[in-house]
Amino acid sequence: MIYLSHQQLQQIQGHAEMTYPEECCGLLLGTLERDNKWVIEVRETENSWTSESNQNLPDLPSSNQQPLSKKNRFSIDPYILLQVQKEVRDRCLNIIGIYHSHPDHPAIPSPFDREIAWLYYSYIIISLRQGEFTEIRSWKLEENNHFQEEIIKTVA
């Protein structure tokens, strides 16, 4: 279960709508206890994907055969990630997950998403159709390398 406030969900939605038709991405900062995660802060980051990103990965086709671009790929600058990691440690929080958007695609992880996913993180995916929000879902990579859906619970 992952707990987000209505306001945090709105923030993710706003970010996704603003960057449409490109993918947006960001970090989920919060606390975790066993299978429960509480989001304290949604940190928007730049989608820093370039054709040089993830060159060490196998050449996965995009799900709709579109050329690779920020419309179907995202990347978070490792330097930003490191900075936020330091910052949250000082605040006794953790990076508990990553969110990104799927413009004109369902909110389910792509093969690329699985390739770059880390264990125990929550992956929130927000789907938009023609710029309009359709659904938001959360996924967690299990040790068998499969994504398991995680329930999003909205709190006040």
Q: Which residues bind Zn ion (CB under 5 A)?
A: 110, 113
Residue with smaller CB distance to Zn ion, 36 or 51: 51
Buried b (16+ CB within 10 A) or exposed e, 42-56: bbebebebeeebbee
Residue with smaller CB distance to Zn ion, 22 or 113: 113
Evaluate whether 28 touches 150 at the Cβ level (below 8 Å): no
Q: By three-state DSSP, how is residue 13 classified?
A: helix
Q: Which residue has the tokens 């995660």?
A: 37
**Least CB distance from residue 100 to Zn ion, whole Å?**
5
Residue with smaller CB distance to Zn ion, 38 or 99: 99
**Least CB distance from residue 66 to Zn ion, whole Å?**
13
Cα–Cα distance for residue pair 26/17, rounded to 1 Å: 14
Cα–Cα distance for residue pair 88/2, rounded to 1 Å: 18
**Least CB distance from residue 74 to Zn ion, whole Å?**
7
Residue with smaller CB distance to Zn ion, 28 or 88: 28
Q: Quick one: CA torsion of 5, 137, 81, 110, rounded to 10 degrees?
A: -170
Residue with smaller CB distance to Zn ion, 113 or 150: 113
**Least CB distance from residue 30 to Zn ion, whole Å?**
21
**Least CB distance from residue 101 to Zn ion, whole Å?**
8
Residue nearest to Zn ion as judged by C-beta position = 113
Cα–Cα distance for residue pair 149/80, rounded to 1 Å: 27
